[in-house]
Amino acid sequence: MATFLCIGHSHIGALRQAWHQQGGGPDAVFLLLNEPQYQPALHERQLHPAILEQLGKAALHVSLLGGNDHSMIGMLNHPRRFDFVLPEAPGLPVDETAELLPAGLLRAELARRIAPHLEVLAACRAAVPGRFVHVESPPPIPAAAHIEAHPGVFKDLIAERGVSPALLRYKLWRLHAALYQESCARLGVEFLAAPPEMQDEQGMMVQLAWNPDPTHGNHIYGRHVLAQLQALA
């Protein structure tokens, strides 16, 4: 039996790369749901047979489902620039030159976007009797210059609209994390927060962990998450 099985989307990449650099082996299984053999992951509330076949064969099941929806709405300057007060940290600065939106409005939009990932998580939880953990997505990369140099899918829009302020991206990440944490509590899934040593004093990703793209941690970040999982397992 594998020590752990990771199921999810692009944030799996950092863990998988770190695992292979450590020598790999059969103790970990990585199911990247973007791959065609797992599509669609959920159909009429039923998991894809290729996913079901793998579940239950590890001591610890690990979700990295979704994780980028906060970036989809906040990576770039919006045509109507906005900001909001983060409920968990109301003392954080607010851009007074931007339109102030209710946090509940942004929360509702994020909830709508992550709902398909949570449906998959719920189906996986129902199929696995043992321990299940969801890994928080990495904190934002604070440096706009890094994102502009490695724009990925945001290339054209970055050129047109520019990268949004780091603090706004941080607040959206926290709002996104709160939704996942609440859902995990409801589903009986443990929520594993980002490694604190991979965050700077403002809570954003340390430079050592930046992947050459706008949103992901690199193999160093992955190595620290693996250490957290190995401690749990």
pLDDT (tens digit per residue) in 10-68? 999 999 999 999 988 889 999 999 999 999 999 998 999 999 999 999 999 999 999 99
d(CA 191, CA 129): 17
> Within the chain, how many helices (H) and strands (E) appear?
8, 9
For residue 206 the two structure tokens come to: 């340390």
pLDDT in tens, 161-201: 999 999 999 999 999 999 999 999 999 999 999 999 999 99
Determine the pLDDT at residue 145.
Answer: 97
For 113-165, the DSSP string reads HHHHHHHHHHHHHHH--SEEEEEPPPPPP--HHHHHHS-GGGHHHHHHH-BPP
Q: Where are the beta strands (DSSP E) in the chain?
A: 2-8, 28-32, 42-43, 46-47, 58-64, 82-83, 99-100, 131-135, 190-192
- CATH number given to 2-232: 3.40.50.1110
Could you state, in order of their start, the residue ranges of all structural domains in the chain? 2-232
Determine the pLDDT at residue 26.
Answer: 81
Distances (CA, A) of 42 to 30, 76, 131: 18, 30, 21
CB of 60 within 8 A of CB of 228? no
